[in-house]
Amino acid sequence: MNQPRASSPTQEHAYRHGPRITAIETLIPDGIMPGLLLLRIHTDAGTIDGNSVIGHGESYYAPHAVAAVVHDWMARRLLGACATAIESHWRFLYERATAFGGKGAELRAISAIDLALWDILGQTTRQPVWRLLGGPVRDAIPVYNSCGGPGYGRRPPNAPDGQGWPGHGDPGKPGTLEDNYNSIQHPAELAEELLTEGYTAMKLWSFDRVFQRSGGHRISWEDITEGVQPFQAIRERVGLKMELMLDGHGFFSLPAAVRIGEAMREVKPLWLEDVLRPDCAQTMADFRDRAGVPVAVSEMLVSRDEYRQVLQIGAADYVMIDPTWAGGISETRRIAELAQAFNIPALMHDCTGPLTLFAGLHVAASCANVTFQETVRAHLKTLYPLLIDDSIAMQHGHLPLPSRPGLGVRLLSELFRPGQSGHRISKLES
């Protein structure tokens, strides 16, 4: 029995050409990173350069819900359809999801699918995605280190049910690559170490513990001193050689956020990010006016219209975009170019999985408005090798443009074992 069309006659173009999508596979790598969803889209394109044409994608947060969205209804649209009808599939899935207010799991599902479809297009044309997007606009992508540790986002050892709360990073512990711990306990030494590795920008989370201890509606002068001290120590040791940023993870309301902004002026931050939760564009604009330092907003936004509101009201000096939350490579590129119309630079977010990083690299390689790609060096060295088939080497504060066709990296095939917990597959009926 043939797969029924999931669309109207005006959508037949999405089924007339090839290669066809033959299966959609998802996996939650619970023992590696329990919040991550990995996705593969299989095609009938055969092999190219010895590799089967399989598209790879991912998203992060509530992975079981995202997998359900993919298999319960999005697969009906995609199975049997043309794998390179990227924009047609994006619009159809987005319009059907937003008919019911869906911008959470639905948009994350679209994001993962979009990455995989771009990956397929790159493989079938033997081109890296950035070239298909119109690049290059630079020779390498500038990056910074976000001070998470090896355990950030991962299941704690010897804690089968432990996962922590989303958005609450662990404080870390003494040890190699424990950048969250060392950014608080030994910030000057960490800054020197990062400089020797080639990083010239680093982002700290020094007010997280203040929030977890005291809440976010008011902040004492003692708490301010505690949160600013790591920045002061870095400035005293390395001066202005290191660009510094603060991520507040959206923990503070306006009065506390303004006090943090005022106190941070002396350390000359490149930006303050999500000190205030981005629930209200007007309040974010008020914060930017009163803080007196540049403000970045925010991977917590997940639709182009939310970014439009922030830009139109003058609430941001930078816009931060997560490609696997905001709608994939397709929508990330559109948001970055929207920001460019306002003369506001874009930033690529990644504190989750390797394909989020690679998606950001492709957008940054093809869009002149992108200023930085976020990295977590602990993830590059300890987590991502468990998931992908290539290593990632930062040099002189930059990552190279991906050179292989498609996304430039593949999820390890041995991760996708049928029958294991967290694995689902939907196949085209013959």
Helix, strand, coil in percent for the chain, rounding step 5: 40, 20, 40
The stretch 167-195 carries a mean pLDDT of 92
pLDDT computed for residue 8 by the predictor: 79
71 Cβ neighbours under 8 A, 6+ residues apart: 24, 26, 424, 426
Per-residue pLDDT for 72 more than 60?
Answer: yes
SS3 category, 20: strand
The stretch 373-391 carries a mean pLDDT of 97
Report the range of poorest mean pLDDT among 145-154, 161-170, 200-209. Answer: 161-170
- Among 391, 411, 299, 407, smallest CA distance to 358 is for 407
Q: How confident is the model over 12-69, as pLDDT tens digits?
A: 999 999 999 999 999 999 999 999 999 999 999 999 989 999 999 999 999 999 999 9
CA distance 61 to 119: 22
Q: In what order do the strands lie in the sheet with 36-48?
A: 51-60, 36-48, 21-27, 423-427
C-alpha distance from residue 187 to each of 182, 222, 237, 328, 424 (Å): 6, 19, 9, 35, 44
C-alpha distance from residue 34 to each of 29, 166, 167 (Å): 6, 11, 14
- Among 372, 391, 386, smallest CA distance to 415 is for 386
pLDDT computed for residue 165 by the predictor: 73
CA distance 415 to 32: 10
Q: How confident is the model over 292-303, as pLDDT tens digits?
A: 999 999 999 989
Q: How confident is the model over 255-306, as pLDDT tens digits?
A: 999 999 999 999 999 999 999 999 999 999 999 999 999 999 999 998 999 9
Backbone torsions φ then ψ of 339, nearest 5 degrees: -60, -35
Give the model's confidence band at 1: pLDDT under 50 very low, under 70 low, under 90 confident, else very high. very low
C-alpha distance from residue 168 to each of 149, 152, 154, 213 (Å): 13, 9, 12, 13
Report the range of poorest mean pLDDT among 149-158, 198-207, 334-343. Answer: 149-158
Rg (CA), the chain: 21
CA distance 338 to 359: 18
